[in-house]
Structure 1
Amino acid sequence: MADETIADAWKDAEKLLTKGKTNGALELLRKVDPDGKEATTLRIAGQAIHMQAGKSNSNSEYRKAAKLLRDAVKMNPRDKQSNALYNQLLNEMQDKRISETVIPRLFNDGTPTPAGLFAVVAALLLVLAAVQFAQADDKFEDGEAVMRVTWTDDSGVFHDEKVTIALHRAEAPLHVENFMLLAEDGKYDNVIFHRVIGDNEQTPDFDPFMIQGGDFEYNSGSGGYAAKWYGYCNGKTTNQEGVEYTRETCQINQWTVPGEHTNGLRHGVGSLAAAHAGLNTDGSQFYIVPTGSDPCWLDGDQVQVGGGSCTEDKNKDCSSQSCHTVYGTVTDGQEHIDAIATVATQSDKPNNAVTIVSIEITEDGIIDGSPWYQFW
């Protein structure tokens, strides 16, 4: 039976949940039961993360909540609250088409599932091949962002649409982290796409090219900076005297992200890439490639040879030639990017504002290898 201190903490945590203070409740639970040994701790923690998942719509959050509640039920099968919350969550996940685990469950209460029986056979075939991947980087996978954009087209029709973007964190960990931090801090909220070189009569020579935004300072293309210190001050690691820059000696509006253009990702339709003013000067600005555009000369290993075509050049000098980091791909809503690329512009700036209302991070792309009790 739990001691009085833990019991009081449970009551306080439940009060915090009624006020929507999920993080406060989780911190309290971690202090009194850091190893998650009590079923009630797991139930309340699962409820808190379920509430967070409802706001973030994150698949991983839903799965964490499900695991906590499942373990709570196993510890105390007679707890009606745990059973009710667990069943409610499973129904919600089913409606959202979210599996309870990323990998199908192989055993259910000790009994092999059909997936489990199949896995036994498959494992025998894969065991030798698995050795080849022993050194593979399993820290990151694709994250996901949902961008809400509004604009009025040339016919006067107002649009309010969402674009889903896969964020390739394994290939571009610094850029994806920077993008996520800026988005979560609200830096992109109500920022415009200040530069559109697309499919319209004002840009006949670049039909189409890209749409660019992310300047949360000036909305003009002259501002924006990295979300945290990555060791580069406007593309440099040292000053003119050769003294290494630090976060204290570099003004925050000069913080930049080093290029990750050698990650193997190339520009294509729907590519999300970092805009910059030179090598290692990537900040907050980005661009997205519309359908019909193939800016291959912006890749880190390709150079233009004429007529818009490119050839591979592994020795491309990125200090004097354009090398841009691709770190995302549109997975849903490319038609909206294409529509934005058709709006009328003056000096590449849309006549009617194209506004990023918000960017919501729905998957962080971090593979959670933590023990079960660290989920919460």
Structure 2
Amino acid sequence: MQFTKFIAPLCVAAGLFASAFAAGAAEPENTLILELKDGEVQIALRPGLAPKHVEQIKKLARAGEYDNVAFHRVIDGFMAQTGDVQFGDMEDGYVAARAGTGGSDLPNVPAEFSDVPFERGTVGMARAQDPNSANSQFFIMFAEGPFLNGQYTVVGQVESGMEHVDNIKKGDQANNGSVDNPDRIVSAKIAADQ
């Protein structure tokens, strides 16, 4: 009798745990939490797709490098780009004219392209023309972007808070999405560290 009372709740808990992973939920070690002006955004990082890029993002988040970094390029109907820890920190060293041209003190990461499509909420790594030039910058898709498929590394997917991403201040379409007085990442953390 006691055994049955213990096993039933355990089976229910295991079922909930399994269904969370089946639905794409990430474990805390691979959940990036961005605090934006309007609330929290949870991103399921995908180490199975891009282990080196995910490791780089986690190192930078854990070091506080993404805190106060601007969304320097935001194109309505396309994506919001951030992560320039060199020139984008709005409290320490922000250079509006150079935001989007920097990286971090860590080395660039070689491309980890996959067949995962760029859809609404997909998080990808920004890079220069060289496919192996991704460093710290990333972008969050507002909508589908099939022209990016196989050309940029997918590192994650927004699990919750996409409405806060939608509210990020948009940039000037005529100026490649450059944003005057941009919104920022208030803070970035890995869920396992909370």
The question of 1:209 aligning with 2:78 is answered yes
Summarize the alignment of residues 355-374 of structure 1 with structure 2, pairs less than 5 Å apart.
Answer: 355-363=184-192
Aligned-residue RMSD, C-alpha: 2.5
Q: Aligned in 2, Cα 1:193/1:170: closer, same or farther, shift over 3 Å?
A: same
Letter paired with 2:101: S
Highest Rg: 1 or 2?
1
Structure with higher RCO (Cα < 8 A, 6+ apart): 2
* Selected match of 1:149 from 29, 36, 42: 36
Secondary structure, in 3 states, of the residue corresponding to 1:350? coil
In 2, Cα distance between the equivalents of 1:363 and 1:352?
32
- The 3-state SS of whatever aligns with 1:177 is helix
Give the structure 2 partner of residue 42 of structure 1: none
Q: 1:275 to 1:344 in 2, by over 3 A?
A: closer
Quote the residue 2:113 is aligned against. Answer: 261
TM-score, normalization by structure 1: 0.40
Alignment map for 1:1-376 (pairs within 5 Å): 111=3, 113-115=6-8, 143-150=30-37, 160-198=38-76, 208-219=77-88, 220-225=99-104, 227=106, 255-262=107-114, 264-277=115-128, 278-290=130-142, 293-300=143-150, 323-340=151-168, 343-345=170-172, 347=175, 348-363=177-192
1:293-329: CA deviation from partner (whole Å, max 9, x where unpaired): 21111111xxxxxxxxxxxxxxxxxxxxxx1011111
1:326-349 alpha-carbon deviations (Å, 9 max, x no partner) = 111111111111122x63537222
Tell me if the contact between 1:145 and 1:363 (Cα under 8 Å) persists in the aligned partners: no
Deviation (angstroms), 1:117: 10
Summarize deviations over 1:132-151 as a string: whole Å, max 9, x none: xxxxxxxx96711110123x
Q: From the superposition, tell whether residues 218 and 170 of structure 1 become closer, same or farther in structure 2 (CA, over 3 Å).
A: same
Question: TM-score of the superposition, structure 2-length normalised?
Answer: 0.75
Runs (5+) with no aligned partner, structure 2: 13-25, 89-98
Q: Where does the alignment leave 5 or more consecutive residues of structure 1 unmatched?
A: 1-107, 120-139, 151-159, 199-207, 228-254, 301-322, 365-376
AA partner of residue 350 (structure 1): V
- Cα pair distance change 1:265/1:217, threshold 3 Å: same
Q: Find the aligned partners of 2:68 and 2:60 in 1 and give their Cα distance.
A: 13
Deviation at 1:265, TM superposition (A): 2.0
Structure with greater proportional helix content = 1
The separation in 1 between residues aligned to 2:31 and 2:165, in whole angstroms, is: 17
Count of matched residue pairs? 164
The residue type equivalent to 2:100 in the other structure is G
